[in-house]
Amino acid sequence: MATVKQTIMRAALASMALITIVSGSFLPALAADTIGTVDYDKLIRSFNKAQSFSDDMKIKEQELQTLQAEYTKQIREAKTKQPNNPVAVDQLQKSLEQKLDAKVNEYRSFQESQAKALDDELTNTIEGVAKGKNLSIILAKQAVFTGGTDITNEVLSRLNANTPAASSKPAGK
């Protein structure tokens, strides 16, 4: 019967053997990895769809602020015109708050779905360029001191190939 000390020694030897086998099999794979970099901030700043999305969100935020101001004005006027009918004013306020909440939720849902679509497009394009260049690892350019193949401009070219530049449309139109 094996003693506790012998069992521990066998487990330790087995663990060291496993570590040696695993690390030995992964070292060639790590050495074969080719690293690319991408400047994600530049992509976001220069991707036409991202700029259009940002412009649309600013307009929608302005619309929400305008709607909120209008609802606040309506409530204030109702309080002035019907000072002896607080129930009606409360009902109006609750109704307008529900309408505003519905608009805010609609805005958030739209924002989230559009942001996800943009992120998916960025990710897929980065992966496509990396695969075409036989790059197995892509890191943020800001995290790499030196080395790596920068694919930012090629990714940006592919992203903007079928998307016109965002027009400088005035807010509210």
At residue 38, the pLDDT reads: 96
- The domain ranges of the chain are 1-32, 35-160
133 CB-near residues (< 8 Å, 6+ apart): 34, 36, 149, 151
Question: Which residues does the chain have with pLDDT short of 70?
Answer: 1-33, 166-173
> Which of 169, 162, 155, 172 is closest to 46 using CA atoms?
155
Pairing of strands 137-140, 35-38: parallel
Q: Which CATH class is domain 35-160?
A: alpha beta
DSSP designation for 150: E
> Which of 72, 73, 75, 67 is closest to 107 using CA atoms?
67
At residue 12, the pLDDT reads: 43
